[in-house]
Chain A
Amino acid sequence: MNAPAYNFAYLDEQTKRMIRRAILKAIAIPGYQVPFASREMPMPYGWGTGGVQVTAAILGPEDVLKVIDQGSDDTTNAISIRKFFGKTAGVATTTSTVDATVIQTRHRIPEAPLHGGQILVYQVPIPEPLRFLEPRETETRRMHALGEYGLMHVKLYEDIARFGHIATSYAYPVKVNARYVMDPSPTPKFDNPKMDNCPALQLFGAGREKRIYAIPPYTTVVSLDFEDHPFTRYRFDAPCALCGAGDSYLDEIVIDDQGGRMFVCSDTDYCEGRQSAGHRGSESAAPHKERAHG
């Protein structure tokens, strides 16, 4: 017996064709949620079963894969998925944003600008931006079809009425190509402007909800807002404690039970790149030795 245990990239070819067809349709109608026959994957829902299926469908032997979870290359989720494709597809893996051709992500867009030819695959828990405002799926689909998006502003109105500003800080609704309102998966709204006019192809896969949607390269993506309460990015007002970056999205890390905390880049590749280039923050120990290996 020398037959391989799995087909290349785990999924069988018919399934990949089905997913690719959904992806092509999604690219043709930017922001529209295309239903697809989501498969059982060898990992639980919530771990990125949608993203994994999209990645499996687009991966070729020449691709270089990077997987991040909350910006980090070395968390359980990222390592598991990277190993999964290392094993089932034998593709090269990397932690470098620039070198990767396919980046599967959960909750972040890398800090380093993406370039043409790259594909960013998002893991999506809830693809429907109107879900918590209008519970009927039949009704939300009709609203998408007819472009009735007044309700989306009701959510933002509620934020301002309650908190004085638009307090939605992640999964911030966007309008894609001036047509469909889309949930950008739970990325922080800090990342929203990166989706606009991005040279890379962005694909979104929701496994449990069985939906795929996409933003083709160089598509306008506008974050919804009010004239008198415009969209603003949000980031903690501190430099990264390890690399001193003042422009990256930060994680807040509690370091003791006395209220001590530190802020570090959520994008580990970006942070390590800066550290190896000699940038230092307040907390960084002298020459940084550790590096995540794919």
Chain B
Amino acid sequence: MAEPQSLSQDNDQPLLVADNLGKNYGRLTACRDVSFALYPGEVLAVVGESGSGKSTLLQLLSAQLAPSAGRVSYRMRDGVLRDLEALGEAERRFLFRTDWGYVHQDPALGLRMAVSAGANVGERLMAVGWNHYGRIRDTASSWLERVEIDTGRIDDAPRTYSGGMRQRLQIARNLVTEPRLVFMDEPTGGLDVSVQARLLDLMRNLVSELGLAAVVVTHDLAVARLLSHRVMVMKGGLVIETGLTDQVLDDPREPYTQLLVSSILPA
């Protein structure tokens, strides 16, 4: 564990580095030549239409897929930048349930639907050796409060929850171990607009409170505008434009980005 002081020094160094990342499925190129560095506390949005390679990129970054080319490195808690492919499976899985979070578009993939909300949040704690029921439950209920779920429903299974509540529960489950990096795959997909707004507001607050770094994949430019500091626009597996969020969205350079921005329906 890094001391707070050294942590602040570490802020000058990237947390996650992608280096000429590419993935082929046979002759099909899902994405190629993706390079960027993500710094602690920074939120990066990856936008683009369906099939542009966003989701593949997210899976490559979170080490769920092995890249065909290039590599991903992550700065571990001890400050050493390490190649994800060189990590053992045990280390990678440990990273995934402690230092990272992964928010799926479909909460059913990220939650245990038949197990109570409290246990869903507590599972990561138990996985890192928490062995005191009272403390696990207290932590779980304080997290439910933070994501605005009525603590009276702590013993209900998420399958009895609404879509918005499930998504918030999934976020609580991911953040309980205080990760430094969260991957989000269309976190607001499939939710109605008022629920989306509430969720976005909540996520923005949590991200800034906890100083999280995040990679958010979305086709919704409003999500990118609200959450992210930087935007990466993908098309046909390539990154065609990247920059500060307001710069890219207000003054797009590439014709495709201009098209994306201009296709937002006026509110």
Contacts and interface: CB of A to CB of B under 8 A. Distances in A.
A1 interface: no
Residue among A151, A161, A162, A227 with max Cβ neighbours from chain B (10 Å): A161
B155 A160 contact: no
A13 interface: no
Contacts of B126: 150-151, 153-154, 157
A286 interface: no
A150 B116 contact: no
Contacts of B25: none
B133 A157 contact: yes
A154 B123 contact: yes
A146 interface: yes
B122 A157 contact: yes
Contacts of A150: 97, 123-128
Query: For the complex, would chain A's binding face be called helix, strand, loop or mixed by DSSP majority?
Result: helix
A161 to B, nearest CB: 5
A237 interface: no
Given A146-B93, A154-B123, A226 B133 contact: yes
Query: Which bracket fits the contact residues of A?
Result: 10 to 19
A161 B124 CA distance: 17
Interface in A103-154: 133, 142, 146, 148, 150-151, 153-154
B93 A148 contact: yes
A229 B136 CA distance: 12
Interface in B87-140: 89-90, 93, 97, 112, 115-116, 118-119, 122-128, 131-134, 136-137
Interface of B: 89-90, 93, 97, 112, 115-116, 118-119, 122-128, 131-134, 136-137, 154-155
Given A148-B93, A158-B115, 16 more contacts: A133-B112, A133-B115, A146-B90, A150-B123, A150-B124, A150-B127, A153-B131, A154-B119, A157-B137, A161-B119, A162-B155, A226-B133, A227-B132, A227-B133, A228-B132, A229-B133
27 contacts: A133-B112, A142-B89, A146-B90, A148-B93, A150-B124, A150-B125, A150-B127, A151-B127, A153-B126, A153-B131, A154-B115, A154-B122, A154-B123, A157-B116, A157-B137, A158-B115, A158-B116, A161-B116, A161-B118, A161-B137, A162-B155, A226-B131, A226-B133, A227-B131, A227-B132, A228-B134, A229-B133
